[in-house]
Structure 1
Amino acid sequence: MSDKSRLQLSNEALSYYERGEEEQRLSKDEGKLEFARTQELLSRFLPAPPAVIFDVGGGSGVYAFWLAQQGYEVHLIDAVPLHIQQAQNFSQTQPNYPLASMEVGDARQLEQPDKSVDVVLLFGPLYHLTERSDRLTALREATRILKTGGLLFAIGISRFASTFSGLFQGNFNDPEFVEIVRRDLAEGQHRNPNNHPAYFTTTFFHHPEELKTEVEEAGLYCEKMLAVEGAGWLLQNFEENWNDPSRRERMLEAIRWIEAEPSLLGMSAHIMAIGKQLIINN
């Protein structure tokens, strides 16, 4: 196992991802909403191809390959060796849209020159780096490699995600889950001590303002704070709504209406911060 992956991820998180399920997560259940909305937001704000994108913590490359198909130069970095292996395997199925590189790496130490990248995606590191100092290091690395005018798209899990999912799924009947949520709300530190398969793994859950503050403290201007799924992920009849094209579009439209409403950001499972590099790095 890579030393880099050990540095960035807890043993619990590594074990969780080595189950191999992340590759399919965005193609089923509420993950389809997360995927569609993230694609929508990227399409709205990304510079035109061929811009250089570093997808840091990009898993098996679900977003990276989608972006490569549009003509971007995409570099994929992830802390889990299995994810890079899965990306390499998938790459063989689309030889006309290769990634520029795929490697195991640490978000806190990017092997890339200063001011050389148009876009950095941080879609996993900010919740798997549970210490604030580590998250700031990762954000400062993104800031370092971004060109002036370059964009960071950073995602955090909402501080209130477990509370909402527990209410809608009935998990509060489990005393173990109650204790997990108590700690989430008090500290943002999410733990699953008995590795319950439905209770995720070792992570940090952001308050929306906390995510914005960290992006700004790293030296970027935070242009946008946006809900990814909004309240859509909490629908009890999600599949029924998603599989009906007209219902799906109405749901997506409603999410767009309130995606930037500060008082509702925490209801979304995932929150996206968009930061811009305004200062020439020294």
Structure 2
Amino acid sequence: MHGPTTVRRGWGRRLHDEADRLSTTAAGRLELLRTQELLRRHLPPPPARVLDVGGGPGTHSRWVVEDGYEVHVVDPIPRHVAQAEQAGATAEVGDARHLAAADASYDVVLLLGLLYHLPDRADRDQALAEAHRVLKPGGLLAAAAINLHKEPLRGSIAGILATQIHDGKKAFTKAYFHTGAQLLEEVTTANFANTDVYGIEGPAWSLLAATGRHTGEPLTDSPLFESALTAARMAEPYPELLSACSHILVIGHRSA
């Protein structure tokens, strides 16, 4: 689910180009690199079958394919499906809540931009249930969420903290914000085991993002970027620093 302004057939609306954000902004690049680090630590050895649900134009699928995996993308936007195929994946138009894949047919399911576009708990539960269904016993789930404790939108923070939902009317798409504990609860309720939650960007991401906005510089090759990346790696073992991250990632497995 990484693309420019589109309505997503019930999956929410993107008001910015997410693929571009991950490749051109310092905070986005930090998120991408840390997501790659965490996933490469947990993915089974290639070749393995990976289902990238809500994978958009293949932002993550591209590097997963380059690592030697067989990747299939499901996304509700036909344009994204065509772009994902150009990234080296196979792809189809589909709905995360009603996957066409057969039972126990994938080694890995990625939900890297999906859950925060499903503000209703019932929809998230259904998407997680489908991920569980299509995974092989012991298969890996990786699901990302926007952290409730990030500073999302000036002037809208009180409403987001109260409802955990941003309405999408200003500066950002409609989205759901998780706490780490809540993300873990949703995944374990969906019968995933051996679950862990990781902070992605670490405690210095907001300084990196603010500096980029203030200077207008990309900062992706700057000493500040390297310091923020080092801080993210150092903070990872400390659960008390989880709330300082912009995004969080849960890793779990389908029970055998």
TM bucket (normalised to shorter chain) is 0.7 to 0.9
Alignment check: 8 A CA contact 2:199 2:245 kept: yes
1:181-233 Cα deviation digits (max 9, x unpaired) = 1121011111133xx3xx21111110111000000000001421100111232
Equivalent residue letter for 1:206: H
Select 2:234's aligned residue among 230, 236, 257.
257
Select 2:186's aligned residue among 204, 214, 235.
214
1:49 is paired with a residue whose SS is coil
Which whole-Å CA distance do the structure 1 matches of 2:74 and 2:116 have between them? 16
Q: Provide closer, same or farther for how the CA distance between residues 59 and 232 of structure 1 changes in structure 2, counting only shifts above 3 A.
A: farther
Alignment check: 8 A CA contact 2:8 2:77 kept: yes
Aligned residues: 243
Select 1:243's aligned residue among 214, 217, 221.
221
> Aligned-pair distance for 1:249?
3.9
Which whole-Å CA distance do the structure 1 matches of 2:136 and 2:232 have between them? 31
Q: Identify the residue that residue 101 of structure 2 maps to in structure 1.
A: 112
What stretches of structure 1 of length at least 5 have no aligned partner? 92-97, 172-177
Q: Identify the residue that residue 225 of structure 1 maps to in structure 2.
A: 197
Equivalent residue letter for 1:141: E
Alignment check: 8 A CA contact 1:53 1:74 kept: yes
Q: Identify the residue that residue 155 of structure 1 maps to in structure 2.
A: 144
What stretches of structure 2 of length at least 5 have no aligned partner? 1-6
Which whole-Å CA distance do the structure 1 matches of 2:229 and 2:28 have between them? 14
Is 2:70 aligned against 1:73?
A: yes
Alignment check: 8 A CA contact 1:188 1:206 kept: yes
Q: Provide closer, same or farther for how the CA distance between residues 78 and 259 of structure 1 changes in structure 2, counting only shifts above 3 A.
A: same
Q: Identify the residue that residue 40 of structure 1 maps to in structure 2.
A: 37
1:9 is paired with a residue whose SS is coil
Return 234-243 or 37-46, whichever deviates more: 234-243
Please give the root-mean-square deviation of Cα atoms over the aligned residues, in Å. Answer: 2.1
> Aligned-pair distance for 1:165?
4.8
2:63 is paired with a residue whose SS is helix
In the TM superposition, what are the counterparts of 1:1-282 in structure 2 within 5 Å?
A: 5-6=8-9, 8-10=10-12, 13=13, 16=15, 21-29=17-25, 30-88=27-85, 90-91=86-87, 98-99=88-89, 101-161=90-150, 164-166=151-153, 171=154, 178=155, 180-193=156-169, 196=170, 199-235=171-207, 236-237=210-211, 242-244=220-222, 248-279=225-256
> Aligned-pair distance for 1:260?
4.0
More strand by share: 2
More helix by share: 1
Structure 1: 4+ residue segments shifted above 6 A? none
Q: Provide closer, same or farther for how the CA distance between residues 56 and 143 of structure 1 changes in structure 2, counting only shifts above 3 A.
A: same
The share of aligned pairs that are identical, in percent, is 41
Which whole-Å CA distance do the structure 2 matches of 1:242 and 1:124 have between them? 22
